[in-house]
Amino acid sequence: MSGPSVAVVDLRGIVGRVDRVVWVLVAIYASLLLLDATAAGRIALGTADSLIGIAPYLLVAIAISAYAKASSADNLIADVFQGRAVTMIAIAALFGALSPFCSCGVIPLIAALLAMGVPLGAVIAFWIASPLMDPTMFFVTASVLGLEFAVAKTIAAIALGAMAGYATLAMTSRGYFADAVRPGIGDGGCAGSRARVRKPVVWRFWNDGTRRATFVGAAGTVVQFLAKWMALAFTLQHVMITYVPREAIEAALGGQNVLAVPVAVLVGIPAYLNGYAALGLVSGLSEAGMAPGAAMAFLLAGGVTSIPAAVGVWALARPPVFVWFAFLAFTGALAGGWMFQAWAG
C-alpha cells in the first residue's frame, strides 16, 4: 500500500520567477532587520509614504505610456528618420527625449536604424537622448526632484542629443566612422520593427476591443515596472538619508567643491542602476547636500553611459564609434551639469 502523496514545492522555480529587483528589496530589508531593526521600520514607513505621495504622478505617467502603446502613437518613429541629415538630427533628438518605447528597449531599434543605413549622426542623436527622458520619466522626475529639474533635464536631453548628432555629422562628413556597425547587426526586435513598418495611428483606440486590451495590458506592465523600481528608489533614498553623513556628501558633491560635477559624472557611470532607482538615490543625496549641477550630471552621465547601456553600444558599434559615443556622453554630462549649476545658483 503506497503512502500518501506529498506535494513537492519547486523552490528553484519560484525563485526564478521572482524579479531580481524584488530580491534586491528583500535583501536590503532583511539586512536592515538583522543590523538595525528600528531603522528598518522607519525606512519602510518612509518608502511607503513616498510611494503614496507620488501615486497621482504615476497614474498620469501610466496612462500616457499605455495610450501611446494602444493607439500605436509610438510607431510615429518611422517619420523621424527621413529627410536632410541636419533636420533629421534635430527631430531625432527631440523625438528621442519625448517618446516612450516598449519594454524590449531601444537597442533593437538602434540596430534596425544602423542596418537600414540611417545617417550615424541622427542615430547618435536619438541614442543619446532616448535613455534620458520620456513622458513617464518626466512626471516621475517632477514628483521626486521638482518640475524645474524635470524641465531642465528634458532640455538637457534634447540639447545633448542634438549636439552629439551634429558633432557626429561633422566627423562623418570628413570621412570618419565610415564603417560604424559591427558585422551581423540586423534589424530584429519589437522596437526595430517600428522603424521598418509604419503602422496606422488610431487616436480613439477605445472603439477597438483589441486596442482596449492592449491598453489594459500595457498599463499593467507599466504599473509592475514602476512599482518595483520606485519602491527600490525610495528605499535607497531613505537608506541614504539614514546612514550617509551629510558632511561627506557636501564635501564631495556640494556646491563648494569645484570638482563636484566631474565627480558626479564619474560616480554616475557605475552607480546608475535604473532611471527610476537613480531618482531616489539623487533625491537622498540632494537632501544631504549634493549640488544641483552634480545631481544633473549624475543623471545625465548614468542614463547614457551606465554599464548596461555601454554594453549595448559595444555590441552594436565598432570600437571607434563606442569610444566616440562615450566621449560625447561624458562631455555632454559635464556641460549639462555645469550649465544647470550656473543657472540654479
| 254-291 pLDDT per residue, tens | 767 778 899 888 877 766 656 777 787 788 888 878 88
Check residue 303 and give its pLDDT: 81
What is the pTM for the complete model shown? 0.68
Listed residue (280, 307, 305) closest to 226, CA to CA: 280
Listed residue (282, 296, 305) closest to 342, CA to CA: 296
For every residue of 125-139, which 3-state class applies, written as one string? HHHHHCCCCCHHHHH
pLDDT digits (tens, 9 = 90+) for 198-215: 567 788 888 888 889 989
State how far the alpha carbon of 140 is from the alpha carbons of 60, 128, 154, 258, 275, in Å: 9, 20, 12, 29, 10
pLDDT band at 307 (very low <50, low <70, confident <90, very high): low
56 SS3 class: helix
pLDDT band at 163 (very low <50, low <70, confident <90, very high): very high
d(CA 146, CA 57): 12
d(CA 111, CA 90): 20
* Average of per-residue pLDDT across 27-33: 93
> Which amino acid appears at position 22 of this protein?
V
Check residue 260 and give its pLDDT: 86
Check residue 273 and give its pLDDT: 58
Q: Is 188 left (phi over 0), alpha (psi -120 to 50) or beta?
A: beta
Q: Pick 133 or 106 by higher pLDDT.
A: 133
3-state helix, strand, coil in the chain (%, to 5): 75, 0, 25
Report the first-to-last Cα separation within the chain, whole angstroms.
83
pLDDT digits (tens, 9 = 90+) for 99-110: 765 433 566 567
Beta carbons within 8 Å of 121's beta carbon, 6+ residues apart: 85, 88, 89, 165, 166, 168, 169, 172
- Positive or negative: CA dihedral 47, 51, 52, 54: positive
Check residue 297 and give its pLDDT: 92
d(CA 266, CA 209): 49
Tally of residues, the chain: 345
Up-side HSE of residue 178: CA atoms within 13 Å toward CB?
4
Q: Pick 195 or 107 by higher pLDDT.
A: 107
d(CA 41, CA 245): 20
Check residue 293 and give its pLDDT: 92
**b/e per residue 222-249 (b: at least 16 CB within 10 A):** beebbebbbbbbbbbbbbbbeeeeeeeb
pLDDT at 229 over 90: no
Count of helices and strands (H, E) across the chain: 16, 0
pLDDT at 6 over 50: no
Q: What percent of the chain has pLDDT over 70?
A: 77
